[in-house]
Copies of this chain bind each other. A is one copy, B any other.
């Protein structure tokens, strides 16, 4: 069956895939060209669904499944005159003939549809580690609505799930952990790497790990799945590389995703170095009539100054808008740089990041410094202030911001968004220190956590004084601990000279000014004051421990 080729007018725009930018692209194409014929081919049942919401239906936080259906084929037709062909899987692009070929799973028939412009939004698909083969009823990904339905069927099944294993401690993995725990399931989280949330540096990941442990999640880091214990079509246990076996009734696997690029590659579209479809600023592939958006493409990374895959919903939606506009009109604003800004709620903790972590920068060979501050999310004297730790990573050459991470309660999202905005403009920590942010006691502080972090970074850059990282090896240094006695008892720092900050002006002469000195407190703020004081008293080399014992102590078991 072949659709008739479009006449001279109106043009036909075909969109393959509704999630991750496709629906955005189609709707936007309609808004910029009321007369184009627009057809969306969707392999599954649903034109678009809230894939970021799937974990939250598992725990019932999003109570109604229907809430996840962002839009419907019917609405797309009524409102936008976009024809959605569900269960239509595209299998091949004939670029010369400008035809998409595929299978209509409803009928089993092959379809062929001509296009003038084609927009690919095939997204990505979860990686299935070897242990998932053969499939088992209770070993599942959580990537699509049917995935979610299958996991829910397990949870709500006859044999009640008491214990679940989540494999992979990425963003979605942690959301699933939280939601399963919320409905009383004992959860074990298994992660091959040495920390949860790879985009965070280890210390910040440890704060999340502490929260997981505090909430009763059993955490296994740095271990692989060696195999599964099976009983017919079900799995009863997970064998780990360290010899442990964990009995379980449900396994949810989040072991990363890979872009769905097969039909693009088969059609000769250029694939970039990171395995995504290469596009220009208008989301055009090397075929000017074929666009691609979402998890399957490579975006321009604002810090790394090169294109790479960034599988996030925000860029996908913005890219969809651009591709839809350009496909319909031949012009659009260019796609901006992407920074990998991401956020996750893990029980009472929010963890967020933008740009690159220190370990990512180190791996790239990019020189960087970092500061960590602790601050309440609003005026400390106003009730309900929640603690937050904020890290800013920057170039020691010019202070350009390279990344930021935040962990805490309320308001972490705001600070990361503010820093991501500054980074969009290539901002420096000097500029960050000068932002004019909204302040009233219920919302922030006259010196916002963003300012405090920027001040710390500027101090470091201007050697007034410099910082050392949380895991700095203190051996061979004179270490001055300016905390109170009670703080020192709670988190001991053996080998340090203890002089509470408010006694330092009287007692600093007890210290040796010729020794290289590191000052330490709980969060780094008083240590900075102490370092300033000693430097002024002609101590030859004084630095302060960024983040203080609140961060350094995370390294202790």
Let me know if B381 and A62 touch, CB within 8 A.
Answer: yes
Give per-residue flags for A62-77: 1 if the beta carbon is below 8 A from chain B beta carbons, else 0: 1100011010000100
Give per-residue flags for A494-520: 1 if the beta carbon is below 8 A from chain B beta carbons, else 0: 000000011111000000000000000
A523 to chain B, nearest CB (A): 15
Let me know if B317 and A438 touch, CB within 8 A.
Answer: no
> In chain A between 359 and 401, which residues have their CB closer than 8 angstroms to a CB of chain B?
379, 381-383
In the complex, whether A345 has a CB less than 8 A from a CB of chain B is yes
In the complex, whether A257 has a CB less than 8 A from a CB of chain B is no
> In chain A between 433 and 458, which residues have their CB closer than 8 angstroms to a CB of chain B?
433-444, 446-448, 451, 455, 458
Let me know if A447 and B317 touch, CB within 8 A.
Answer: yes
Cβ–Cβ < 8 Å partners of A382 in chain B: 53, 56, 61-62
Let me know if B78 and A502 touch, CB within 8 A.
Answer: yes
> In chain A between 88 and 120, which residues have their CB closer than 8 angstroms to a CB of chain B?
none
Give the size of the chain A interface in residues (CB under 8 angstroms). Answer: 97
**Alpha-carbon distance between A34 and B505 when the two chains are bound, in angstroms:** 10
**Alpha-carbon distance between A175 and B441 when the two chains are bound, in angstroms:** 11
> In chain A between 501 and 554, which residues have their CB closer than 8 angstroms to a CB of chain B?
501-505, 528-529, 532-537
Number of copies: 2
Give per-residue flags for A389-427: 1 if the beta carbon is below 8 A from chain B beta carbons, else 0: 000000000000000000000000110111011101101
**Alpha-carbon distance between A321 and B448 when the two chains are bound, in angstroms:** 14
Let me know if A438 and B413 touch, CB within 8 A.
Answer: yes
Give per-residue flags for A474-510: 1 if the beta carbon is below 8 A from chain B beta carbons, else 0: 0000000000000000000000000001111100000
Let me know if A343 and B443 touch, CB within 8 A.
Answer: yes
> In chain A between 158 and 197, which residues have their CB closer than 8 angstroms to a CB of chain B?
171, 175
In the complex, whether A9 has a CB less than 8 A from a CB of chain B is no
A535-B34 contact given A52-B379, A455-B321, CB 8 Å threshold: yes
Residue of B nearest to A55 (CB): B441
A192 to chain B, nearest CB (A): 23
A529 to chain B, nearest CB (A): 6
Let me know if A436 and B413 touch, CB within 8 A.
Answer: no
Let me know if B417 and A438 touch, CB within 8 A.
Answer: yes
- Stretch from A137-145, A148-156, A209-217, A307-315 that touches the partner: A307-315
Let me know if B431 and A336 touch, CB within 8 A.
Answer: yes
In the complex, whether A221 has a CB less than 8 A from a CB of chain B is no
> In chain A between 305 and 345, which residues have their CB closer than 8 angstroms to a CB of chain B?
312-318, 321, 333, 335-345
Cβ–Cβ < 8 Å partners of A505 in chain B: 78-81
A150 to chain B, nearest CB (A): 20
**Alpha-carbon distance between A482 and B439 when the two chains are bound, in angstroms:** 39
Residue of B nearest to A413 (CB): B443
- Stretch from A25-33, A237-245, A263-271 that touches the partner: A25-33
Cross-chain contact of A314 among B79, B336, B446 (Cβ < 8 A): B446
In the complex, whether A302 has a CB less than 8 A from a CB of chain B is yes
Let me know if B440 and A171 touch, CB within 8 A.
Answer: yes
Cβ–Cβ < 8 Å partners of A318 in chain B: 433-434, 447, 451
The 5 closest A-B pairs by CB, nearest first: A34-B536, A336-B434, A425-B425, A343-B438, A78-B502
28 intermolecular pairs with C-beta atoms under 8 Å apart: A30-B533, A31-B532, A33-B536, A50-B381, A52-B440, A62-B382, A78-B505, A314-B436, A314-B446, A314-B447, A315-B436, A316-B446, A318-B434, A336-B435, A340-B436, A342-B438, A342-B439, A343-B439, A343-B443, A343-B444, A345-B442, A352-B438, A413-B443, A413-B444, A417-B435, A420-B438, A421-B422, A421-B437
